[in-house]
């Protein structure tokens, strides 16, 4: 802790010294010690009042604020940075443990030609992240940065060795587990001379991560026993990234040692995960197929913690990250205890002047994904191996979707994107009863560049679903039912925009969610003000989700960078 | 080259850091369970001080701590309860062919509180004194003047090869904290080698208050909520090498979250 305070003091001194001077020399943002300072500021505010129809609750504070400022000082090979954060009080849906303010992240870094050393807070990823990925997502309210030291060394071109150790950030404190890791990545085209000019591109990698956590007393119910916990939990992975012409293949296999924890119900079964990504692309066409199997791979630096905090690893999502409102209404959250799935994605561009391409060409995008649970046989609970699982046999259906998107420029100023999607969603992934929802969704998105300074965008969405909102019989999901939505967005000149939208559950559902927002952008600064209703649901990014409660009121945000 | 070797060394060390537990060892005995009932009468409402002393046979200054605590015992009588814990490593390692006083429970406490220096003494698990622990003595005196937030009394009887323990508890102040009851057996008059700050190694040093076993789970058993006057009963079979005639039962109440000991009691085994 003493070392942390000293480090923070050095960074603050450097930044203040340089930042003060850069204010008076804004042209170059040049500090007294040389180098330069850059940064960004973001402020998000929310006011919400009670609304029994949508389930919004009164906010006693009236005004909720999340704010942050990142400042980075760079001088040649040396850089240092810090981030101030404030949650007074946290926006709705953010864990109340975020409440507070202070310097949440600080580091010093040396980046030489062969060697990179970081002390303080840092983010790192080994391969696809299945054994280690620390990251920050301000919208999900996740920051699992490691606080410690990291070394990256490139002894020869094409070879990267990494070693790190530290503890993960947990709100305003650190998790109890000590995380250590090593990783090596070799580009065979750089190291093996005969491959240097080859069409075959090959990169191989391997990583190992170990977590140490003190013992704790976890009693076995109904006995006089407690769990004999492994204090060091290791996870290893092997990966390959191959390419030949337009073809590419990325694959990674990971294994995790015995790791009884709150997520898996304190079972001793080792974990494993396999990810495969095969793709082909050429001009106007690309296709990819992705397959993934996860078995007991939740890996945290605090074994007794559930929820989304303190994950050491990241298990990539295998479903498309949809952006349209109804397509994203039932997002799929990765099931770290076990799932398997495939995703196929095809994009094709009909050329200009062809029957389907017309005058400007037509883009076609087809995507489908299917995720099921593992086929497991339970052999015990806490303090046992938990279950056995068939290698590729299917368990319960969890999620499936098929979407077809057609984008066509109708004239020089008008572009239409039309989407149809069919989704089948099992709410068991959100902890509800396994009662499948079948949804048909249609979206029409029309952009019209009215003039050089004005543009309009119209969006219409419809969703038909067999789900019902019926709280008296236990169906309390406010997303249920059939919905329609309309949106108009007007970009006025280069600085202003105005947007009006409404989502309405017209059958078997509840709620009318209107929103009005406007914004002003000038240079790197953007201010946005909105008023309306927010539907409760899940916000998911890359398979990692945050519960968003309903709200009714004003929101505003300010972002700027320097 | 040096950097590559260093990174490879880091890799090897990390690779070694993975524990594997055999199926039959997934669970381990966690001490005697406690049965709860209503206590027939309230125990004496007196505040006692609880001291965990960390010691080792190769710690030359540990006899100084023994002398200090013996003097404190003389001064405070049964208002002071001392438990001597043999440090698990370094100066705590026994001499060859000498009794090993290290215990699983003591090691768990030692590691949790991060004991790195011998002798150390922990008063009520809130204030840690290392080296010269004499500064703790007046603090003990002050602490036992406080009004107790909970009263506790204990009785222990031999029943064949087993020992039956009854702890009566009265919660005197309302608190939201979860409390736990921990019971341990300590033994006096154990004779084995001990390094001494004046006399070098003493072959027949007399060790008192030595922790022989934490009878409950290492961190105790939770008190049931909603009751202010309750009795906890438990029984255990002591190891054959424990002389029950020289032994005491120590019980203490602590806050589950902070481990702070709020009161304690000890008794001879009848």
A353 and A241, same domain (yes or no): no
Query: Is the domain of A293 the same as that of A335?
Result: no
Q: B170: which 2 tokens?
A: 């009265």
Select the more confidently predicted residue: A217 or A389. Answer: A389
What's the CA angle centered on A224, arms A263 and B170, to 5 degrees? 100
Residue A24 has pLDDT above 50, yes or no: no
Range of the domain at A361: 318-510
**A363 shares its domain with A473:** yes
Query: Last residue of a domain, which of A316, A347, A375?
Result: A316
Residue A136 belongs to a domain: yes
Reduced DSSP (H G I as helix, E B as strand, rest coil) percent helix, strand, coil of chain B, to 5: 20, 40, 40
* pLDDT above 80 (res A320): yes
Min Cα separation A255/chain B (Å):
12
Q: Which chain A residues are Cβ-neighbours of B217 within 8 angstroms?
A: 217, 219, 226
* Cβ-defined contact of B17 to A153 (cutoff 8 Å): no
Mean per-residue pLDDT over chain A, rounded? 91
Q: How far apart are CA B79 and CA A357, in angstroms?
A: 93
Residue B170: asked if its preceding bond is cis (omega within 30°), the reply is: no
Q: Is A388 on the interface with B (CB under 8 A)?
A: no
Of A115, A268, A383, the CB nearest to B3: A115
Q: Could A225 and B32 be called an inter-chain contact, meaning their C-beta atoms sit closer than 8 Å?
A: no
Q: Given this model, what pLDDT does residue B233 score? A: 96
Q: Is A264 on the interface with B (CB under 8 A)?
A: no
For A523, other C-beta atoms within 10 Å of its C-beta total: 9
Q: What 3-state DSSP class applies to B83?
A: strand
Does residue A139 fall inside a structural domain?
yes
pLDDT reading at A12 higher than 70: no
Same domain? For A311 and A323 the reply is: no
Please check whether residue A218 touches B, CB under 8 A: no
Question: Are B4 and A161 a contacting pair at CB < 8 A?
Answer: yes
Residue A206 has what pLDDT? 96
Give B-chain residues touching A234 at CB under 8 angstroms. Answer: 15, 17-18
> Is residue A59 included in any domain, yes or no?
no
> Among A13, A64, A46, which residue's Cα sits nearest to residue A529?
A46
A100 close contact with B: CB closer than 8 A: no
**Same domain flag for A252 and A302:** yes
Whether residue A208 lies inside any domain: the answer is yes
A498 and A449 both lie in a single domain: yes
Residue of A17 and B105 predicted with greater confidence = B105
Of A156, A543, A165, which is closest to residue A369 (Cα–Cα)?
A543
Separation in Å, CA of B38 to nearest CA in chain A: 22
Please give the tally of structural domains in chain A: 2
pLDDT on residue A13? 60
Tell whether A332 and A475 lie within a shared domain: yes
Query: What is the 3-class SS of A131-197, one letter each residue?
Result: CCECCEECCCCEECCEEEEEEEECCCCCEEEEEEEEEEEECCEEEEEEEEEEEEEEEHHHHCHHHCC
Residue B24, Cβ neighbours under 10 Å: how many? 7
The rounded distance, in Å, linking the Cα atoms of A557 and A559 is 7
When pLDDT is cut at 50, 70 and 90, the band that residue A428 belongs to is confident
Which of A298, A316, A334 is the C-terminal boundary of a domain?
A316
**Do A224 and B30 count as a contact with CB atoms less than 8 A apart?**
yes
Cβ separation A384–B26 shorter than 8 A = yes
Residue pair A486/A504 in contact (Cβ under 8 Å)? The answer is: no
Asked if A314 is an interface residue toward chain B (Cβ–Cβ < 8 A), one would say no
Bridge-partner residues for A185, per DSSP? A160, A205
Q: Give pLDDT tens digits for A310-319.
A: 999 999 888 9
CB-nearest to A257 from B3, B13, B18 is B18
**Helices B136-143 and B62-76, packing angle to 10 deg:** 30
Best probe of the A interface among B30, B235, B236, B254, by most A CBs < 10 A, is B30
At a CB cut-off of 8 Å and minimum separation 6, what does A117 contact?
A109, A110, A149, A150, A151, A152
pLDDT of residue A35: 87
Q: Which of A316, A347, A362 represents a domain boundary (last residue)?
A: A316
**pLDDT of the residue at A478:** 86
Predicted pLDDT at B17 = 76
The 10 Å Cβ neighbour count of residue A260 is: 24
Choice between A50 and A545, residue whose per-residue pLDDT is larger: A50
CA-nearest residue to B215 within chain A is: A224
Same domain for A213 and A241, yes or no, is yes
pLDDT category at A42 given cuts 50, 70, 90 is very high
Interface contact A226-B111, CB threshold 8 A: no
How large is the average pLDDT for residues A544-552? 83
Same domain, A348 and A284: no
Alpha carbons within 13 angstroms on the beta-carbon side of residue A264 total 30
Domain shared by A186 and A126, yes or no: yes
The C-alpha atoms of residue A178 and residue A161 are separated, in whole angstroms, by: 20
Mean pLDDT of A54-81: 93
CB contact under 8 A, A227 and B27: yes
Per-residue pLDDT tens over the stretch B145-158: 999 999 999 999 99
Interface test with A, best of B3, B8, B13, B14 (most A CBs within 10 A): B14
pLDDT in tens, A264-312: 999 999 999 999 999 999 999 999 999 999 999 999 999 999 988 999 9
> What are B's interface residues with A at a Cβ cutoff of 8 A?
3-4, 7, 10-11, 13-15, 17-21, 23, 25-33, 108, 111-112, 217-219
A residues 114-143 closer than 8 Å to B (CB)? 115
Nearest to A226 among B13, B28, B32 (CB): B28
Q: Is pLDDT of A22 > 50? A: no
Residue, of A77 and A431, whose pLDDT is higher: A77
Question: Chain B residues with CB inside 8 Å of A181's CB?
Answer: 14
Q: Round to the nearest angstrom and report the end-to-end CA distance of chain B.
A: 70
Whether the CB-CB separation of A141 and A98 falls below 8 Å is answered with yes
Question: What CATH number corresponds to the domain at position A194?
Answer: 2.40.160
**pLDDT above 80 (res A14):** no
A390 exposure class (CB count in 10 Å sphere: 0-12, 13-18, 19+): exposed
Residue A25 has pLDDT above 50, yes or no: no
Say yes or no: A287 and A218 in one domain: yes
Which A positions 267-306 lie with beta carbon below 8 A of chain B? 268
Which domains does chain B carry? 33-268 (2.60.40.10)
H/E segment holding residue B13:
helix B2-16
Comparing A192 with B2, the larger pLDDT belongs to A192
pLDDT along chain B (270 residues), means of 10: 65 71 90 92 96 96 95 94 95 94 93 92 95 94 95 95 95 90 96 94 96 93 90 94 95 95 96
- Written as one string, the DSSP assignment of A400-447 is EEEEEEEEEE-SSSEEEEEEEEEEEE-GGGGTS----EEEEEEEEEEE
In a domain, A411, yes or no: yes
Please state whether beta strands B80-86 and B49-55 pair in parallel, antiparallel, or not at all (unpaired).
Answer: parallel
pLDDT (tens digit per residue) in A360-378: 999 999 999 999 999 999 9
CA distance B92 to chain A (A): 21
Q: Does the distance separating the beta carbons of A257 and B27 come in below 8 Å?
A: no
DSSP3 helix / strand / coil % (chain A, rounded to 5): 5, 55, 35
Rounded average pLDDT over A98-127: 96
DSSP B30-78: -----EEEE-SSPPP----EEEEEEE-TT-TTHHHHHHHHHHHHHHHGG
Residue A85 lies in a domain: no
**Mutation target vs A (from B5, B8, B18; most A CBs, 10 A cutoff):** B18
Count of H helices and E strands in chain B?
4, 16
Q: Give the mean model confidence (pLDDT) for residues A442-470.
A: 95
User: DSSP secondary structure string, B101-161?
Assistant: ---HHHHHHHHHTT--SSSEEEETTTEEEES--TTHHHHHHHHTTSPPSEEEEEEEEEETT
Confirm whether A328 is domain-assigned: yes
Count the alpha carbons within 13 Å of A412 in the hemisphere toward its beta carbon: 3
Among B4, B25, B32, beta carbon nearest to A224:
B32
Domain assignment of residue A70, yes or no: no
Same domain, A346 and A399: yes
Instruction: Write out chain A residues lying below 8 Å of B13, CB-based.
Output: 180
Report residue B268 as tokens.
């001879």
Structure confidence at residue A58 (pLDDT): 87
Query: Which residues of chain A make contact with B25, given a CB cutoff of 8 A?
Result: 228
CB contacts, 8 Å: B11 with chain A: 163, 182, 184, 208
């Amino acid at each position: 802790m003493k070392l942390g305070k000293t480090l923070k003091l050095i960074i603050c001194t450097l930044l203040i010294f340089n930042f003060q001077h850069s204010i008076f020399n804004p042209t170059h943002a040049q500090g007294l010690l040389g180098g330069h300072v850059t940064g960004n500021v973001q402020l998000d505010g929310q006011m919400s009042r009670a609304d029994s129809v949508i389930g919004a609750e009164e906010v006693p504070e009236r005004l909720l604020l999340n704010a942050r400022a990142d400042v980075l000082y760079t001088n040649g090979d040396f850089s240092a940075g810090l981030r101030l954060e404030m949650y007074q009080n946290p926006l709705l849906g953010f864990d109340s443990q975020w409440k507070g303010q202070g310097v949440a992240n600080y580091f010093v870094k040396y980046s030489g030609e062969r060697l990179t050393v970081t002390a303080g807070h840092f983010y790192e990823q080994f391969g696809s992240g299945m054994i280690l990925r620390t990251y920050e997502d301000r919208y999900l309210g996740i920051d699992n940065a490691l606080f410690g030291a990291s070394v990256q060394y490139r002894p020869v071109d094409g070879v990267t060795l990494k070693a790190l150790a530290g503890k993960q950030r947990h709100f305003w404190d650190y998790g109890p587990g000590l995380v250590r890791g090593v990783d090596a990545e070799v580009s065979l085209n750089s190291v093996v001379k005969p491959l240097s000019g080859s069409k075959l591109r090959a990169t191989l990698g391997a990583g190992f991560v170990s977590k140490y956590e003190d013992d704790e007393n976890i009693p076995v119910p109904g006995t006089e026993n407690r769990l004999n916990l492994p204090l060091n939990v290791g996870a290893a992975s092997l990966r390959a990234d191959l390419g030949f012409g337009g073809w590419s293949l990325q694959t990674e296999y990971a294994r995790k040692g015995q790791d009884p924890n709150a997520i898996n119900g304190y079972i001793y079964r080792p974990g494993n995960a396999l990810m495969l990504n095969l793709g082909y692309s050429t001009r106007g066409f690309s296709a990819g197929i992705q397959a993934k199997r996860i078995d007991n791979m939740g890996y945290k630096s605090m074994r007794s913690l559930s929820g989304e905090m303190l994950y050491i690893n990241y298990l990539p999502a295998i479903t498309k990250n949809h952006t349209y409102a109804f397509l994203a209404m039932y997002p799929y959250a990765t099931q770290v205890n076990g799932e398997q799935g495939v995703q196929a994605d095809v994009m094709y561009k009909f050329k200009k002047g062809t029957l389907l391409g017309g005058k400007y060409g037509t883009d076609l995008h087809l995507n489908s994904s299917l995720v099921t649970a593992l086929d497991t046989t339970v052999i015990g609970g806490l303090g046992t191996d938990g279950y056995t699982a068939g290698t590729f046999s299917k368990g319960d259906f969890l999620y499936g979707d098929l979407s077809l998107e057609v984008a066509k420029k109708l004239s020089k100023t008008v572009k239409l994107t039309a989407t149809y999607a069919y989704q089948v969603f099992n709410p068991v992934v959100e902890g509800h009863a396994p009662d499948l929802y079948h949804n048909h969704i249609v979206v029409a998105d029309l952009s019209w560049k009215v003039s050089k300074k004005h543009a309009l965008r119209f969006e219409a969405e419809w969703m038909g679903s067999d789900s019902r909102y019926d709280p008296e019989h236990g169906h309390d999901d406010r997303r249920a039912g059939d919905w329609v939505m309309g949106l108009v967005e007007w970009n006025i000149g280069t600085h202003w925009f105005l947007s009006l939208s409404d989502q309405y559950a017209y059958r078997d559902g509840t709620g009318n969610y209107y929103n009005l927002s406007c914004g002003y952008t000038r240079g790197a600064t953007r201010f946005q003000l909105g008023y309306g209703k927010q539907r409760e649901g899940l916000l998911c990014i890359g398979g990692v989700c945050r519960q968003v409660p309903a709200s009714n009121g004003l929101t505003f945000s300010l972002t700027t960078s320097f | 080259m040096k950097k590559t070797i260093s990174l490879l060394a880091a890799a090897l060390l990390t690779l070694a850091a993975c524990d594997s537990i055999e199926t039959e060892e997934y669970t381990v005995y966690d001490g005697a369970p406690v049965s709860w009932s209503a206590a027939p009468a309230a125990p004496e409402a007196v505040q006692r001080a609880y001291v965990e002393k960390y010691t080792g046979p190769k710690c030359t200054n540990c006899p100084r701590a023994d002398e200090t605590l013996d003097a404190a015992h003389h001064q405070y009588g049964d208002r002071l309860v001392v438990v001597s814990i043999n440090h698990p490593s370094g100066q705590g390692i026994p001499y060859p062919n000498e009794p090993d006083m290290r215990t699983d429970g003591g090691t768990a406490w030692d590691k949790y509180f991060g004991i790195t220096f011998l002798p150390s003494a922990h008063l009520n698990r809130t204030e840690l004194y290392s080296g010269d622990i004499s500064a703790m003595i007046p603090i003990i005196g002050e602490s036992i003047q406080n009004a107790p937030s909970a009263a506790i009394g204990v009785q222990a009887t031999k029943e064949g090869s087993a020992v039956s323990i009854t702890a009566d508890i009265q919660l005197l102040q309302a608190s939201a904290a979860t409390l736990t009851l921990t019971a341990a057996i300590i033994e006096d008059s154990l004779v084995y080698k001990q390094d001494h700050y004046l006399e070098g190694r003493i072959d027949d040093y007399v060790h008192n208050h030595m922790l022989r076993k934490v009878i409950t789970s290492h961190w105790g058993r939770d008190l049931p909520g909603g009751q202010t006057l309750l009795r906890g009963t438990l029984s255990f079979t002591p190891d054959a090498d424990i002389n029950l005639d020289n032994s005491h039962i120590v019980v203490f109440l602590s806050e589950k979250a902070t481990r702070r000991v709020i009161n304690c009691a000890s008794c001879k085994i009848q």
